[in-house]
Amino acid sequence: MEIDASIWNAIYIRGDQPTTCPKCGSRIDWLLDLQHVNNQPAIVQCLSPTCKFIFVEETDETPPFNKIF
Ligand SMILES: [Zn+2]
């Protein structure tokens, strides 16, 4: 499976509900989850075999950097 730069065109904010695919609503799997490190975005893939949409998920939490001010 290839992950190219186009995934950065599809960035979604993680909400209160468990994340589902924004295209088909299926369950998702985290390919790469860096959100335990400074709220970095996660790379997520839809588990539907007919969809397999890959997107980037971010939190809406304020990064610690901005809390200095
Ligand atoms: Zn999907």
pLDDT in tens, 12-63: 888 778 889 999 999 999 888 776 676 678 899 999 999 999 999 887 765 5
Distance from the alpha carbon of residue 49 to the mean position of ligand 1, in angstroms: 8
Q: Is residue 67 part of a domain?
A: no
How many structural domains is the chain composed of?
A: 1
Confidence check: pLDDT of 67 > 60 = no
Distance of CA 4 to the CA centre of its chain: 15
Q: What is the pTM of this model?
A: 0.69
> What per-residue confidence (pLDDT) applies to 60?
72
Q: Which of 65, 55, 49 is nearest to 21 (CA)?
A: 55
Determine, yes or no, domain membership for 61.
no
Gap from CA of 66 to ligand 1 centroid (Å): 33
The reply to whether 45 falls in a domain is yes
List the beta strands (DSSP E) in the chain. 11-13, 28-33, 42-46, 54-58
Whole-number Å distance, alpha carbon 12 to ligand 1 midpoint, is 13
Query: 12 in a domain, yes or no?
Result: yes
Provide the domain limits for residue 50. Answer: 5-55
In angstroms, the CA 43 to CA 17 distance is 17
Q: What is the pLDDT at residue 24?
A: 96
Between 64 and 31, whose confidence is greater?
31
Other C-beta atoms lying within 10 Å of the C-beta of residue 64: 9
Cα(24) to centroid(ligand 1), Å: 4
**Residue 36 is assigned to a structural domain of this protein:** yes
